[in-house]
């Protein structure tokens, strides 16, 4: 496997670092003593960002999450000095651990650190056929030696978050391996391993779907059907949602395979009818004969309590319905949690009579937040529409031009991930959602998704916790939705949590949310976490954007700010600040309250929850020029 040229090459007898399990460093076969806890926190933090600068502020936050001592910076220097001695870091021209730009960089070769090796193997498997991908993913999974970082290091909240991110990467790789093995006919081998993971991650749909396929492939159809039924009931009970159209389609396939050519038993016919109704197709008993084309409705359920964004919804409907409007691509942009996907799904449901040949939603990110290659996206679309001939972008464009379909390409990470999938006219339409502006795409009709208004946000909250509870303390309800920054996701999570915590007064919860230090930790319900959603968006940013957003968040107030304030926060002149702000607008990290998305507007604003997250990342490095 080729090694990135920017990283150092490991020499024989080089060190071996381990994060995918307890923190460890070996020289040859000998484990090195890593010293006291705080020194190990420094090492683990540096390894988590290997070959990238880690600011002193970030190290301080990792070691002392509450009150750092006045000697914190000096203590960190002592820990770094001890690590240099431990690693025999005596190369003066190119030291392994060096100070740079207000922080420290630990140079590690790809084959020296198990995390880098794991990432490289997973990347190498992307876009490969199952026969090539399965062994690469198995090799990546075999690098794991247990829970990452160990219990002692996870006392640091920063490292606890890092451990959680690593676990999610491992889970996504396991899902990809299981899917590849299933394509190769290895269903019996993966069924039991998936059972344990599903028990630990009950709301992870991709895992459930793989388990359902494995059980079915192993000849255990009744158990496979039970997996779907259990998941459907769990989603309805916990989140008020239904399984995705893709999972429902898989369920129908298993039902059809179980029934064969013989008349289906009464119980099977009833289950099939309920499944079809749940995906928006016609209701009633399932008729005998061939299954309906898969290009029917492949949408998530429309939210029964969809609230706000009426003007934006009207704009989207007008653009998609009016055939005289040139172009056939609409982009919904806004920060994480703004309600882009819900708005897109609502529009698609309302346009059922317009797009009679099909409506479906496909994510352009995998479950770990990584970018899916266009080939994988086309493979999913082909499987869900029954069009096995979508071998490449040209075949896809031809098919889309000939069919009256609406395709939501959800959570687009960057232009190159979606450019090959855009149509060139014809009957089909594409609706994109993205956090950034995707300024390199043209022609695209752009619709920005703003925060909910206060009245709309209170309405959404009341629908979740009850009108009576909101009327009893409307001031507290107002404080809650304002602390959520008008984010539908944050308001919904608050409502879901309060619906469970019936004993918690709205006023107490409002107090928790108005504490900047703990607000994001409160916005969690079950496995739905606003912090995790923001973290995934932050990780996808170019490094310079993340650093500049952190400095801007720390150096400006909580409301709109002008160019001079931005320049002061960034430590540069206004000419350079314009370029930085433009880059952050394009990345979806900064907005213009006046509605004109340009860095030359008089005022800018950073969404409230993004500002809170950015301030908590500890980015304090010098300004990196935006390109």
- Closest by CA to 242, choosing from 272, 203, 184, 273, is 203
Q: What is the pLDDT of residue 597?
A: 42
Q: How confident is the model at residue 79 (pLDDT cuts 50, 70, 90)?
A: very high
When pLDDT is averaged across residues 174-178 and rounded to a whole number, the result is 89
* Digit-coded pLDDT (tens) for 232-262: 888 777 766 778 777 887 888 777 664 332 3
pLDDT at residue 465 greater than cutoff 60: yes
Q: How confident is the model at residue 90 (pLDDT cuts 50, 70, 90)?
A: low
* Digit-coded pLDDT (tens) for 348-380: 888 877 887 888 899 898 877 788 888 888 888
Q: Residue 169 and residue 380: Cα distance in Å, rounded?
A: 21
**Percentage of residues in the chain with pLDDT exceeding 70?**
85
Q: What is the pLDDT of residue 19?
A: 92
* Digit-coded pLDDT (tens) for 510-541: 999 888 778 888 888 887 888 888 887 787 77
Beta strands in 518-625 (DSSP E): 524-525, 528-529
Q: What is the pLDDT of residue 257?
A: 63
When pLDDT is averaged across residues 288-313 and rounded to a whole number, the result is 64
Kindly give, in sequence order, each residue whose CB lies less than 8 Å from that of residue 504, ignoring residues fewer than 6 positions away.
498
Q: Which helix (H) or strand (E) holds 183?
A: helix 157-183
Mean pLDDT of the chain: 79
Q: What is the pLDDT of residue 297?
A: 54
Q: How confident is the model at residue 306 (pLDDT cuts 50, 70, 90)?
A: confident
pTM (global) more than 0.75: no
Coil/strand/helix, residue 346 = helix
Kindly report the number of other CB atoms within 10 A of residue 349's CB atom: 17
Q: What is the pLDDT of residue 433?
A: 94
**Percentage of residues in the chain with pLDDT exceeding 90?**
13
Q: Which of 82-91, 125-134, 548-557 has the lowest mean pLDDT?
A: 82-91
């Amino acid at each position: 496997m080729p090694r990135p040229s920017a990283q150092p090459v490991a020499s024989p007898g080089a060190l071996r670092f381990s994060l995918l399990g307890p923190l460890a460093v070996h020289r040859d076969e000998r484990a090195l003593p890593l010293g006291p806890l705080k020194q190990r926190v420094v090492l683990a933090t540096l390894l988590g960002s290997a070959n990238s600068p880690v600011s002193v502020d970030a190290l301080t936050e990792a070691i002392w999450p509450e009150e750092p001592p006045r000697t914190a910076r000096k203590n960190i220097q002592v820990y770094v000095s001890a690590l240099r001695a431990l690693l025999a870091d005596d190369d003066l021209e190119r030291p392994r651990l060096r100070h740079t730009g207000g922080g420290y960089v630990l140079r590690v070769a790809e084959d020296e650190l198990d995390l880098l090796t794991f990432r490289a193997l997973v990347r190498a498997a992307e876009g490969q056929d199952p026969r090539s991908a399965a062994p690469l993913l198995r090799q990546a999974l075999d690098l794991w030696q247990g829970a990452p970082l160990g219990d002692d290091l996870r006392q640091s909240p920063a490292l606890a978050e890092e451990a959680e991110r690593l676990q999610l990467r491992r889970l996504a790789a396991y899902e990809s391996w299981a899917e590849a093995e299933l394509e190769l006919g290895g269903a019996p081998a993966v069924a039991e391993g998936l059972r344990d993971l599903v028990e630990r991650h009950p709301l992870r749909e991709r895992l459930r779907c793989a388990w359902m396929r494995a059980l079915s492939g192993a000849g255990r159809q009744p158990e496979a059907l039970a997996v779907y039924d259990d998941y459907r009931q769990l989603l309805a009970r916990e989140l008020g949602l239904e399984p995705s159209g893709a999972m429902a389609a898989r369920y129908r396939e298993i039902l059809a395979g179980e029934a064969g050519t013989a008349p289906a038993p009464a119980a099977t016919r009833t289950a099939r009818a309920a499944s079809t109704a749940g995906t928006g197709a016609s209701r009633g008993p399932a008729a005998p004969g061939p299954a309906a084309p898969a290009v029917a409705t492949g949408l998530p359920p429309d939210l029964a309590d969809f609230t706000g964004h009426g003007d934006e919804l009207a704009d989207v409907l007008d653009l998609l319905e009016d055939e005289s409007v040139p172009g056939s691509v609409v982009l919904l942009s806004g920060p994480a949690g703004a309600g882009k996907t819900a708005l897109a799904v609502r529009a698609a449901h309302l346009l059922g009579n317009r797009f009679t040949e099909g409506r479906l939603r496909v994510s352009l990110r995998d479950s770990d937040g990584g970018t899916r290659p266009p080939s994988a996206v086309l493979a999913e679309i082909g499987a869900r529409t029954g069009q096995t001939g979508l071998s490449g972008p040209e075949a896809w464009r031809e098919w889309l031009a000939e069919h009256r379909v609406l395709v939501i390409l959800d959570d687009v990470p960057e232009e190159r991930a979606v450019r090959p999938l855009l149509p060139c006219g014809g009957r089909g339409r594409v609706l994109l959602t993205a956090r950034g502006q995707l300024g390199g795409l043209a022609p695209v009709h752009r619709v920005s998704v703003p925060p909910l208004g206060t009245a709309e946000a209170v309405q959404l909250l009341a629908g979740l916790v009850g009108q009576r509870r909101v009327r009893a303390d409307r001031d507290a309800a107002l404080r809650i939705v304002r602390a959520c920054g008008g984010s539908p996701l944050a308001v919904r999570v608050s409502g879901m949590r309060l619906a469970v915590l019936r004993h918690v007064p709205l006023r107490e919860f409002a107090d928790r949310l108005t504490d900047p230090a703990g607000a994001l930790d409160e916005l969690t319900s079950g496995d739905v976490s606003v912090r995790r959603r923001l973290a995934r968006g932050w990780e996808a940013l170019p490094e310079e954007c993340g650093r500049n957003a952190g400095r801007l968040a720390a150096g400006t107030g909580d409301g709109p700010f002008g160019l001079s304030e931005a320049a002061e926060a960034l430590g540069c002149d206004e000419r350079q600040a314009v370029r930085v702000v433009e880059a952050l607008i394009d990345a979806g990290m900064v907005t213009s309250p006046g509605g004109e998305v340009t860095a030359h507007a008089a005022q800018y604003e950073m969404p409230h929850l993004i500002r809170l997250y950015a301030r908590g990342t500890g980015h304090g490095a010098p300004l990196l020029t935006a390109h």
